[in-house]
Structure 1
Amino acid sequence: SRDHREEQGYFLPVEEIIRRAKEAQDYGATEVCLQAGLPPQMEGDLYIRLCEAIKEELPDIHIHGFSPEEVLYGSVRSRCTIKEYLEGLKAAGVGSLPGTSAEILDQELRDQISPGRIRVDQWVEVITTAHELGIPTTSTVMFGHVETNGHIARHMALLRDVQKNSGGITEFVPLSFVHTEAPMFMRGLVDNVRSGPTGMDVVKVHAIARVMLNNWIPNIQASWVKEGSRLSQLLLTSGVNDLGGTLINESISTAAGAQHGQLMRPSEFRHMIRQAGRIPAERYTTYGTRRLFDDSDEELDPLDLVGDNVEEVFGSYQKLVNLDTYRFVHPRRVMLEPVGAGVPAQGPENSANPDGGPSMSDG
């Protein structure tokens, strides 16, 4: 995410999010992932209205959103409890929550690397409440910055305890710290920040996750967009059984400076998995098997037919942040701007959209 004062801040209208979701579904996507920053002065029901609009147009798409940080923010802006807000999201069509915004679930360390963000107890409350309501979640850890091995081990132990009690975590996804655009690295906001994990660190964290979580969280996912295809392939021999999605238009890791692209074609996935001696299978969000590829057929998916001009077909994060079309303007600035000054009235409370205003999506 970007601070609202930064030039790279953007705010996608609901119509644009729906257009992207329709495009993805046409290419075979079964899920739309909704994650973003926290829009200043956001209307509390914005996330709910966004989901309702998507489901009205695409009733069969699975909505995977929002982070615990966003759920907490939505409940605060709506002046309701976390449970009430999650009930609203579920009624609007949310099928699962990403267990992101976790970083390291150690409050002392969080106060150092992400002061003011969601607390450990709040994160756990959002996740466990979602499970109580029948909303499954993922789980994550961000490593390779200032944490110790002990921090990572205690983080995994906490997730294991959560899973023992509520049972709704579908997978665990270790996320390497990408330092390239990270403020705490670039601006020196935190002392002794490493520039991400080593390759051996990545292998060890995934392998230890399999040992610690195996009986409780059966799926360990490698993030190919952070690790790249070669290391992700190696991780299939180190405890990993899942490589995530094709993504199509990834912007979260890209915004942080990841250089492994925004799309992995299905045929590339299958080839990579077979080279590792495994049988590829396509799954749904909650790990039901959609299709098993137990032979060497090379049937092409619609995404396989996309050429090398991926950015021209789907756009890119770099192009998006350089457009004036979706530039975020703080509502307070819009109100203060003199008439005729040319500032677009675009923001969560100043939208030309008759259906209730724009929203952001990083997924």
Structure 2
Amino acid sequence: MGYIQEKSRINSIFDKVEGRERVSDEDALFLLENADLLTLGRLADIARRQKHPDNVATFVVDRNINYTNVCVAGCKFCAFQTKKNSPDAYLLEFEEIFSKIQELVDWGGTTLLMQGGLNPDLGLDFYVELFRQIKKRFPQIQVHSLSASEIFYISKLEKLPIKEVLKILKEAGLDSLPGGGAEILSDEIRIQISSNKVNTETWLEVHRSAHQLGMKTTATMMFGHIEKPKHIVEHLRHIRELQDESLKENKGFFTAFIPWTFQKGGTKLDHLETATTVYYLKVLAVSRIYLDNFDNIQSSHVTQTMKVGPVGLHFGANDLGSTMIEENVVTSTGWKVAAPRPEKMADIIRKAGFKPAQRDTYYNIVRHF
């Protein structure tokens, strides 16, 4: 494609974004493969301001409790998992989990994120009892827990339909689902990096079922490994289509999209070149431009550092994620994860040129700074 044709294509996409017209898969792929970083930033900022004209950027005070590290999935990108008979294997006692939640409450937190491995010793009764006790002790905490892979694994162990498992867990106290386990929603990629976890159709079915039960969920993407730009667009198409479907039903839906990059360190993919900061910001920007039915896009300071995370607010994101009181999965690669206090998080957002606000799981504002 020549310069004039390329310029004409970009101008056409600018017209679409400014006119709030949906961009196509072809547009998104063209932007990923051809547009420069600043052009993408301008386009994404237009799209963000259309949804968030007040220039508020949010964050949540939550805690990520990894209740077990025993996992049979064997994902090539994971350094956290371990086998049942490993000396490093663990399963947290309920009292230890409650102690961690109390610290979250003391921080002024609202959201409990719990994810672990696919542990064959943990059936549905374990989660029902855990969530019931959490809600009894901490009724104010929003339980945003269990990935699609965990939900499907429980359904397999119990020989129950996915929707029935979700219904039982919801009644026990599960409020919403995180988007973990999505990686890249393309089976061409999943079969190579996470063949023992849910396929694309099943990941989508878990979230579809949660939405039908009135639960909200988040969508994620872990990129920067073996995928190509076309796989990223395929991933975005799947979640945009499910969001269209869920919003039409007027029940549950995706509250946000959170892309982050693969981190090396003790994984079977350590030989790969990891994504650059520039590529991360490009993917973040294209996500905002393409996902016109998502209100919230999160910038990942967890994988990009707190220097780059706030920059993402200028590339389409309106949320800086979590204070991350505790994080074990990314940390297991040797990557250092920041855990700023709420006031520090607000100061970081303010210095980036935005109005900081603390939110809850559902993106309701709970505190302005």
Are positions 1:217 and 2:294 aligned together? yes
CA contact (8 A) 1:44 1:76 kept: no
Deviations 1:32-79 (A, max 9, x none): 111000112323321121111111111111101110011011111222
Are positions 1:179 and 2:267 aligned together? no
Tell me: CA distance 1:112–1:79, structure 2 relative to 1, closer, same or farther (3 Å).
same
Q: Give the drift of 1:9.
A: 2.1
Amino acid at match of 1:132: Q
Number of residue pairs aligned between Structure 1 and Structure 2: 284
Amino acid at match of 2:139: P
State the match for 2:329 in structure 1: 252
Q: 1:66 aligns with which of 122, 146, 149?
A: 146
State the match for 1:235 in structure 2: 312
CA contact (8 A) 1:178 1:257 kept: no
Are positions 1:199 and 2:277 aligned together? yes
Are positions 1:280 and 2:356 aligned together? yes
CA contact (8 A) 2:281 2:315 kept: yes
Deviations 1:207-252 (A, max 9, x none): 0001001x20111101211111110111111101101111211112
* Long gaps (5+) in structure 2: 1-79, 248-252
Q: Secondary structure at the match of 1:157?
A: helix
Q: Give the drift of 1:256.
A: 3.0
Q: Secondary structure at the match of 1:94?
A: coil
Identity %: 37
CA contact (8 A) 2:327 2:337 kept: no
Q: Secondary structure at the match of 2:166?
A: helix
Q: Secondary structure at the match of 2:286?
A: helix
Q: 2:116 aligns with which of 28, 36, 56?
A: 36
Q: Give the drift of 1:146.
A: 0.5
Q: Secondary structure at the match of 2:175?
A: strand
Are positions 1:270 and 2:323 aligned together? no
Amino acid at match of 1:204: K
Q: Which TM-score applies when normalising by structure 1?
A: 0.76
CA contact (8 A) 1:140 1:174 kept: yes
Whose helix fraction is larger, Structure 1's or Structure 2's? 2
Alignment of 1:93-242 (within 5 A): 93-167=173-247, 168-182=253-267, 184-186=268-270, 194-213=272-291, 215-242=292-319
RMSD: 1.3
Q: Give the drift of 1:94.
A: 1.0
* Long gaps (5+) in structure 1: 187-192, 294-363
Deviations 1:111-158 (A, max 9, x none): 011111111111011000000001100000111101001100110111
Counterparts of 1:126 and 1:256 in 2: how far apart (Å)?
28
Whose strand fraction is larger, Structure 1's or Structure 2's? 2
Counterparts of 2:121 and 2:314 in 1: how far apart (Å)?
47
State the match for 2:82 in structure 1: 3
Q: Give the drift of 1:170.
A: 0.4
Deviations 1:303-350 (A, max 9, x none): xxxxxxxxxxxxxxxxxxxxxxxxxxxxxxxxxxxxxxxxxxxxxxxx
Amino acid at match of 2:256: E
